Amino acid sequence: MITINYLPYGSEGECTFTFGEKDRLELAVINCFVDSCDAMKAAKSDFKNHLNKLRLWFGNDEFETIQYVKSSVSRMHAILKDNESQLHFIDGRNKRLVHRYHSIVPVPNRPERYQKKEIKLGNKTITDLSKDTKVEGFVHMLSVRCNNSRALSHVGSGLKLYITGDTLLFWRSIEGISKIIYHELSHKILSTVDTNREGVDVYGEKECKALALQDSARALKHADCLAYFVTLLAKNEGCTIL
């Protein structure tokens, strides 16, 4: 399974996660890996026992949809099962932020002129990400125009996942954290998106189901749709993670 590390934020010099928070993150990664294994098993039969969930999260169960989801699940699993892959958790709570590649990313030691005191997230203006419950974690995103070789190099250089918001609060389930991790890793591994075609952010179960009905092609490339599909695949229909 993927190897877990904890890194300090920028030049802080020490990791700021508590032992309890590390335990929860490690349990969540294990749960994420188990969900990925379940998805791989289901993919072998073209998700024949889960066609209703394909329709729910991606809008249809057509051949092209099945093949696309199988490919996405397989590429994710290849990283999650590889013990030479490195997943680095970084505490991004209460950090200054910049907006890059349509993702919210803190850049340590970046010149002041590049730092932004507020950013746009969909139709919402955010000044303090640590207090915004809609954003749970984030990664340095690839350009949407990157080629496959660059994507592989980017993943190989280390998966850095910045934890923010209320991700690790006591009421958040391990399954919920797993879903966040899968969502964020899909950005790095698959270059998934968070928005609809109009550039409006789509998060949460209700919004993702609506996106699947309105735009199946976009749902296939959407991080939350894929994360819900995989993490709920072996669970009861209608289960809610968040």
If we measure between CA atoms, which residue out of 172, 177, 193, 148 comes closest to residue 87? 177
Per-residue model confidence (pLDDT) at position 236: 46
The model's pLDDT over 48-81, given as tens digits with 9 standing for 90+, comes to 999 999 999 999 999 999 999 999 999 999 999 9
The model's pLDDT over 121-146, given as tens digits with 9 standing for 90+, comes to 444 554 544 444 444 444 444 333 33
The model's pLDDT over 197-234, given as tens digits with 9 standing for 90+, comes to 888 888 889 999 999 999 999 999 999 999 999 998 86
Per-residue model confidence (pLDDT) at position 219: 96
Per-residue model confidence (pLDDT) at position 239: 38
* DSSP character at residue 15: -
DSSP string, 136-192: -EEEPPPPTT--HHHHHHHHHT-EEEEE-TTTTSTTS-HHHHHHHHHHHHHHHHH--
C-beta of residue 135 within 8 angstroms of C-beta of residue 121: yes
Instruction: State the pLDDT confidence band at 194, using cuts at 50, 70 and 90.
Output: confident
* DSSP character at residue 125: E
The whole model's pTM is what? 0.75
